[in-house]
Amino acid sequence: MTEANQDLLVEFDGPITWITLNRPTKLNALTHEMFETLRATLESEATSASKVIIIKGAGGNFSAGHDLSSDSVEVNEPGDSLDDLNRQRYYLSTFFQIFDHPKPIIAAVDGYCIAGATQILPFCDFIVTSETADISGSPMIPLGGGFITPLLAYKIGISRAKLLSFIPGKSITGKEAVEWGLAVQSVPSADLIDTVRSLALEISRTPTSVLSLKKMAINRTLVAQGFRDYAYAGAETDVVVHGMKEVNEYKNLIAKDGLKATLARFRAGEI
């Protein structure tokens, strides 16, 4: 059975709930409406009959991150630094719905997984990738300042997190994601969905109540190590960077000329 929203699909497959980011012509770029639907879905799934949740993208990509088109909220949202901070807290509260959810949540990552989409990954219980997945720790233009990569540091190590953070658009493949400790398995793209489904079915043999307590026990280790605190600290760093002169110049160019033209100029060293 499928519940359809234009930009996000929820499909029920026995003990599995599939959540699909569904803007394939925009590489599944994330919008506020998608976040709202995701939040509502996660809340309702806390008490549904399913036992495992899988998040994936439509059309061969996971997601290109937050929508940075010239008319998007990411570029043109009005307000001061407090408004921005509240927006970052909104994203984090959504991601912590994943982290604190009573059911295991798996990310199935194929194709592009860029910047804001990568933020989702550390909050999931498992990540399975295609071998050719392209996972980036930061936007291709330096628009943010540390929301994502601090969350990856505990998985991939400090130096690797810095490498992904310092180089705009620096990415790793799905195979490298396994080697670096970010993902648990990497398979050919054609096998990704079947592999993740099989994993979810194996997990579903364990009673939901037991899964919930096992997840809570393991997550407590991360919380004791400061995971929740440095997640919010990274978001606050992002707010500071968003207000910097250089970043606002990039945003103004995106609003004026579009993302593709601005990115081309950035790569050419013209800005």
Summarize pLDDT for 138-154 with one digit per residue, the tens. 888 888 877 888 888 88
Q: Which residues contact 206 (CB under 8 A, 6 or more apart)?
A: 214
Residue 2 has pLDDT above 60, yes or no: no
Tell me the C-alpha distance between 177 and 241, whole Å.
Answer: 27
- Please report, as a single letter, which amino acid is at residue 168: P
Average pLDDT over residues 107-129: 96
Residue 10 parent element (H or E): strand 8-13
Token pair recorded at residue 53: 């949740």
Sheet of strand 2-5, all strands in order from the earlier edge strand to the far edge? 2-5, 8-13, 16-21, 52-57, 105-109, 126-130, 185-187
- Integer angstrom CA distances of residue 19 from 4, 22, 137: 10, 9, 22
Per-residue model confidence (pLDDT) at position 70: 46
For the chain, percent of residues with pLDDT exceeding 70: 94
- Of 2, 5, 6, 13, the C-alpha closest to 200 is 13
- Listed range (49-58, 65-74, 92-101) with the worst mean pLDDT: 65-74
pLDDT at position 230: 86
Query: Cα separation of 46 and 103, whole Å?
Result: 7
Please report the pLDDT score of residue 139 as a whole number.
83
Residue 30 in 3-state DSSP? Answer: strand
pLDDT band (50, 70, 90) for residue 12: very high
77: which 2 tokens? 């949202």
pLDDT of residue 42 exceeding 90: yes
According to DSSP, the residues that pair with 127 across neighbouring strands are: 107
Of 2-11, 24-33, 155-164, 213-222, the poorest mean pLDDT is in 2-11
Q: Which residues contact 197 (CB under 8 A, 6 or more apart)?
A: 13, 16, 54
* More confident of the two residues 184 and 67: 184
User: Which of 4-13, 40-49, 226-235, 250-259 has the highest average model confidence (pLDDT)?
Assistant: 40-49
Question: How many residues can be counted in the chain?
Answer: 271
Mean pLDDT score, 129-138:
94
Percent of the chain past pLDDT 90, that is, above it, reads: 72
| Single pTM value for the model | 0.92
Of 3 and 131, the structure prediction assigns the larger pLDDT to: 131
Of 150, 160, 167, which Cα lies nearest the Cα of 181? 160
Start-to-end Cα distance in the chain: 49
How far is Cα 176 from Cα 182, in angstroms, rounded to an integer? 9
- Whether 1 has a pLDDT exceeding 60, the answer reads no
CATH of domain 2-267: 3.90.226.10
Question: CB neighbours (10 Å) of residue 51?
Answer: 21
- What integer is the mean pLDDT of 239-264? 90
pLDDT tens digit string along 171-199? 999 999 999 999 999 999 999 999 999 99
* pLDDT for residue 5: 56
Element (H, E) at 17: strand 16-21
- Residue 20: which of 6, 32, 33 has the closest Cα? 6
Cα–Cα distance, 114 to 119 (Å, whole number): 9
What was the pLDDT predicted at 79? 65
